[in-house]
Amino acid sequence: MAISETSRSDTIGAPALSDERERKTALYGQFARVGKALANPARLELLDLLAQGERSVEELGQAAGMKVGNTSAQLKALAAASLVAARREGAKVFYRLADDGVAELVDQVKHFAAARLAEAERAARDYLGDVQALEPVAQGELARRIDDGDVVVLDVRPQAEYAAGHIPGAINLPHDQLAARLTELTAHVAAGTDIVAYCRGRYCVYAPDAVRLLRDHGYTARPLQGGLPEWRRAGLPVLAGHSTVAGHATEGPS
CA torsion through residues 33, 34, 38, 42, sign: positive
Query: Is 204 annotated in the active site?
Result: no
For 121-183, the three-class secondary structure string (H helix, E strand, C coil) is HHHHHHHHCCCHHHCCECHHHHHHHHHHCCEEEEECCCHHHHHHCECCCCEECCCCCCHHHHH
**Which of 136, 152, 142, 146 lies closest to 222 in space, CA to CA?**
136
- Conformation bin of residue 66: beta by default, left when phi > 0, alpha when psi is -120 to 50: beta
- The pLDDT assigned to 108 comes to 95
Dmax (CA) for the chain in angstroms is 101
DSSP string across 74-136:
HHHHHHHTTSEEEEEETTEEEEEESSHHHHHHHHHHHHHHHHH-HHHHHHHHHHH--SGGG-P
107: which residues sit within 8 A by CB, 6+ positions away?
Answer: 201, 202, 229, 230
Using alpha carbons, list the distances in angstroms from residue 90 to 56, 87, 115, 172: 12, 10, 44, 30
**95-106 tens-digit pLDDT:** 999 999 999 999
* Side chain identity, residue 87: R
- The pLDDT assigned to 254 comes to 53
Q: For residue 240, which phi and psi values (nearest 5 degrees)? A: -120, 150
Q: What is the pTM of this model?
A: 0.84
Contact 249, 222 (CB under 8 A): no
* C-alpha to C-alpha distance for 226 and 238, rounded to whole angstroms: 15
Please report the domains of the chain, with CATH numbers, ordered by start residue. 1-107 (1.10.10.10), 133-253 (3.40.250.10)
* C-alpha to C-alpha distance for 174 and 200, rounded to whole angstroms: 12
* Side chain identity, residue 203: Y
Tell me the pLDDT of the chain (254 aa) as tens digits.
454 544 444 555 666 778 889 999 999 999 999 999 999 999 999 999 999 999 999 999 999 999 999 999 999 999 999 999 999 999 999 999 999 999 999 999 999 999 999 999 999 999 999 999 999 999 999 999 999 999 999 999 999 999 999 999 999 999 999 999 998 888 778 878 999 999 999 999 999 999 999 999 999 999 999 999 999 999 999 998 766 554 444 445 55
- The pLDDT assigned to 186 comes to 82
Of 81, 199, 228, 238, the catalytic one is: 199
* Side chain identity, residue 253: P
